[in-house]
Amino acid sequence: MKRRTFLSFLGVSGVAAVLPTEGKAAPVKDFAGHPDAVGVLHDSVRCIGCRKCEAGCQRANNLPMPAQFKKPAKPFDDLSELDKKRRTHFQQYTVVNKYESSKGKTVFKKFQCNHCQEPACASACFVKAFVKTKEGPVIYKPNLCVGCRYCMIACPFYVPTYDYDSALNPLVYKCTMCYDTRLKKGLLPGCVEICPKDALTFGKRSDLIKVARKRIMDNPGLYVDEIYGETEMGGANWLYISPVAHKELDQPELGKTSAPELTSGALGSVAMVAGIWPVLLGGAYFISKRREKQAAEERDAAVRAAVAETREEAETRLNTALDKAAKEKDAEVAREVKKTREETAREIEAKYNPPEPEPEEADAETEKNTEEDA
Ligand code: SF4
Ligand code: SF4
Ligand code: SF4
């Protein structure tokens, strides 16, 4: 959907009518999704891996540029970054990866939240910090988040990321389809607007599926006959078409069963499934928190005891060393005094009581004196 079509779409539906309400992960079988929900189609035949969508996402969400990342990365116009497989992180909600396919083709795929129709992240979040809107985007409410990170474990695409560097207020981050920052203002998602090759198409999900089918039909041999995201895990609002099998682009092979349906199947024998799942998760969370608290207290006590013991040992060693030094010093002084006294005594003795000459020496002296007298 181009900008003009998009705006006319909003004109018909009305931004207020399209965007303000919230849906929720619907734990029902064969949920067809909200009829007017919007989404994005990514076409890997058109994508040239220019990374402009990455830069557009940063700008749209007021995120820092790579040089300002906590772990600095290469700038968005440096395409050597495509040589390694990357994931999103808390300062970057989308990345483009390069694949060498079995057909000898170089193919690019953009990665971000797929905005699942029945999101596993939302069904795992017992405080409802993740919400599936009726308009399509899956959004996140940081004020409700307790930081349990069940959403990260639940997401089959490994999308939600966590700010481990923030000690005081670590939160979860992911693509929001620019719900608050642009869609509500009648603007296209930042990545869609900037893409120079129309590799990203925004529109109603039902229309995007028709567009994707038409491209596949009109270009025999150019695309594989599969729209990834149409049915996987109950379907997603971000869809993909590709010249090679989607699994070659790291798309996980998932069944059609949605996450909430899988959950209800696992707990099917338990009465009041819908109520008990948050209780179980909540219980697990608080038990794990209590264990963490106990472990932290035990660790602190052990550290305090070790410090006290080390300090006591250090003081004992210091006192012993001081005693020894004092004793050695006293002994040294005493030795020096004794030595000086002895030397002085010897000098006095030599000066005032010279030793008597030996008898033979005395006789020789007398004879010498007699001869001289004679
Ligand atoms: S801006 Fe468009 S063409 Fe460039 S990498 Fe992103 S999706 Fe592909
Ligand atoms: S891709 Fe993951 S984070 Fe995004 S809506 Fe689906 S389950 Fe949630
Ligand atoms: S929809 Fe918005 S938040 Fe999501 S990848 Fe595109 S620009 Fe980023």
Please check the confidence at residue 366 and state whether its pLDDT lies above 90. no
pTM above 0.75, yes or no: no
Give distance in angstroms: CA of 192 to centre of ligand 1: 9
Measured from the Cβ of residue 153, the count of other Cβ atoms closer than 10 Å reads: 12
In degrees and rounded to multiples of 5, residue 343 shows phi and psi of: -65, -45
272 versus 348: which is more confidently predicted? Answer: 348
Residues 197 and 221 sit within 8 Å (Cβ to Cβ)? no
pLDDT tens string 195-237: 999 999 999 999 999 999 999 999 999 999 999 999 999 999 9
Give distance in angstroms: CA of 285 to centre of ligand 1: 40
319 versus 96: which is more confidently predicted? Answer: 96
Torsion 336-341-344-346 (CA) sign: negative
Overall average pLDDT of the 297-309 stretch: 68
Nearest CA, atom 2, ligand 2: 155
Nearest CA, atom 2, ligand 1: 195
Ligand 3 atom nearest to CA at 61 = 3
Nearest CA, atom 8, ligand 3: 57
* 3-265 is a CATH 3.30.70.20 domain: yes
Q: What is the DSSP string of 177-190?
A: TTTTTTGGGT---H
The confidence band for 25, taking pLDDT boundaries of 50, 70 and 90, is very low
Please check the confidence at residue 282 and state whether its pLDDT lies above 90. no
In the chain, count H helices and then E strands: 10, 9
Please check the confidence at residue 369 and state whether its pLDDT lies above 50. yes
Give distance in angstroms: CA of 292 to centre of ligand 2: 28
